[in-house]
Amino acid sequence: MLIIGALDTTAQRYVDDLSHNQQLQLTVYTPSRVRLSASIHALTEETLDEGGLTAAMLDQDVVVALVPTIRLTATVKTLVTAASATGTRSLMISRTDDMDDLPGEIRRARQQLANAQLHYDFITGLGGIGTLLGSTPAPGEVVPIDPFTDQQAG
């Protein structure tokens, strides 16, 4: 699975949680300088770089783009170009905000995808990704603390 986009603290935690799922091999393509689990292949690149994004999309079965609404049209244009070059037929685009003041941005992005004849899902927030994938991130191991000693139980 390829995850594209800037990672804020919440998205970074979500990606780290996804990395615990043994069925997923994660690649993250982000302009953000973040520390990720060693099991995640991380590429630090600008999301609007068509060449870099195309290379990152090669051999990926699932492509998820985390995009703020204000950059939706530009990012979708780059995604469509990269998807066409790699044969990717399906994209999940998750708006990373709930900004409803830019309906033209959403409309133009959907039109670009329709013209490209790609299967796509538009979702808002990270929760919808797990729903569409049919899996939710597995949290890291939880070790209970004994309330009387403040030490790990067991």
- Which CATH number does the domain housing residue 36 bear? 3.40.50.720
Residues 56-79 have pLDDT tens digits of 999 998 899 999 888 999 999 999
CA neighbor of 81 nearest in space, from 61, 53, 59: 53
Instruction: State percent of the chain over pLDDT 90.
Output: 38
Number of folded domains in the chain? 1
Handedness of CA 106, 112, 115, 120 (dihedral sign): negative
Please state, in angstroms and as integers, the Cα–Cα distance from residue 74 to each residue in 25, 34, 98, following that order. Answer: 27, 23, 18
Q: Is the pLDDT of residue 139 over 90?
A: no
b vs e for 45-60, b when ≥16 Cβ sit within 10 Å of the residue's Cβ?
eebeeeebbbebbeeb
Determine the number of helices (DSSP H) and then strands (DSSP E) in the chain. 5, 8
Cβ neighbors of 134 (< 8 A, separation 6 or more) are: none
Q: What is the pLDDT of residue 149?
A: 55
Place of tokens 């709930």: 98
The separation between CA 44 and the C-alpha centre of its own chain, rounded to angstroms, equals 14
Whether 46 shows a pLDDT value over 50: the answer reads yes
Alpha carbons 58 and 149: distance in angstroms, whole number: 52
Establish how many alpha carbons lie within 13 A of residue 55's alpha carbon, considering only the half-sphere containing its beta carbon. Answer: 10
- Is the confidence at residue 108, as pLDDT, over 90? yes
More confident residue, 129 or 111: 111
Distance CA 70, CA 10 (A): 19
**Residue 6, phi-psi category: left (phi > 0), alpha (psi -120 to 50), beta (remainder):** beta
Which residues face 38 on adjacent strands? none
115 lies in which domain range?
Answer: 2-152
- How far apart are alpha carbons 114 and 103 in whole angstroms? 16
